Amino acid sequence: MAILSQTKLLLTVGSLLSAALANPVAKRSDDDDDNDTPLPVVIWHGLGDNYAAEGLRHVGELAESVNPGTLVYYIKMGDDASSDRSATFFGNLTDHIAKACEDLASHQILSTAPAIDAIGFSQGGQFLRAYVERCNNPPIRNLVTFGSQHNGISEFRDCAATDWLCRGAMALLKGNTWSNFVQSRLVPAQYYRNPEEYDKYLEHSNFLADINNERSVKNPKYKENISRLENLVMYMFEDDTTVVPKETAWFEEVNGTEITPLRARKMYSEDWLGLRALDRKGGLKFRTTPGDHMQLSEKVLTEVFSEFFGPWKKASKQPTTLGGGDL
């Protein structure tokens, strides 16, 4: 299902379950400081959606209306809408992230920008975070994610009775989650993370265990690149019944009825991903928005585009205290 433009912009349940180390500061110049042209905005959609969807295009139009002159780029894994939608269910996420890195780095305009801003809907959010960690060229200044599965999912989604693509993918996932076949081909399996199967997850996860730096050998580039963001803004839907657990949008650990906030987790105290460093400079923001998964109003999007997107020289609204009261 596509993102729908209504009085309330409904980003569909179908949007469920986002080259060297680059430093934005290193690409800055005096000319950049004097330029009031908005930074380009990159959008990565979610599961079951496609880059050409009417609602997604409406989001891009809204970004341009808030900051006139904004170039909006829609990440795609297929040459047409149908193949791009299929790629949200099937494919190796290592290849998907590599393709996004290559496409953005080779883009005639994006590659010359001092930085870009990015917004990820549902699974597009963690895919864009992986882009930051693995290549980040051109570098992302501000990354905003909505209902993204940063700490994985512990249950798989239900599919519409007539959505055979979704139903086929989910049939393969159940019971075969940790097989090499599924981990290299089924997209949602690659960010599946059930605390009751944590050892299997660490051993077999093709994607999430790596980009979350959860294995014993850490990748220092991931930490470095995340800490260099200006802002990572993570929205959780208050009544999300599609993403399980919904708290994954904030990197929270949910085990049964026990919920461990990010700041109480080892990944934060030992700063596996640079999230603590980002938090200490006021750039890690936890926010909520009403409604179920992807029930997103234009008001919220307008506020995001106004606060975090725009020209390179735009004054930062970072708080001076830890976390900035966003929790």
Which residue in 45, 58, 96, 293 is the catalytic one?
293
d(CA 130, CA 211): 6
How far is residue 285 from each of residues 108, 145, 156, 177, 190, measured CA to CA in Å?
32, 10, 27, 32, 25
Which residue in 5, 15, 18, 122 is the catalytic one?
122
**Main-chain dihedrals φ then ψ at residue 285, nearest 5 degrees:** -125, 130
Task: Single out the residue of 112, 34, 29 nearest to residue 71, CA to CA.
Answer: 112
240 is catalytic: yes
122 is catalytic: yes
326 is catalytic: no
Which residues on adjacent β-strands are paired with residue 287?
Answer: 235
Which residue in 210, 240, 271, 279 is the catalytic one?
240
Alpha helix segments (H runs only) across 112-259? 123-134, 164-173, 180-183, 198-204, 208-211, 220-227
What is the DSSP secondary-structure string of 148-188? --TT-BSSPPP--TT-HHHHHHHHHHTTTTTSHHHHTTBTG
CA dihedral (201, 91, 218, 231) positive or negative: negative
Q: Which residues are catalytic?
A: 122, 240, 293
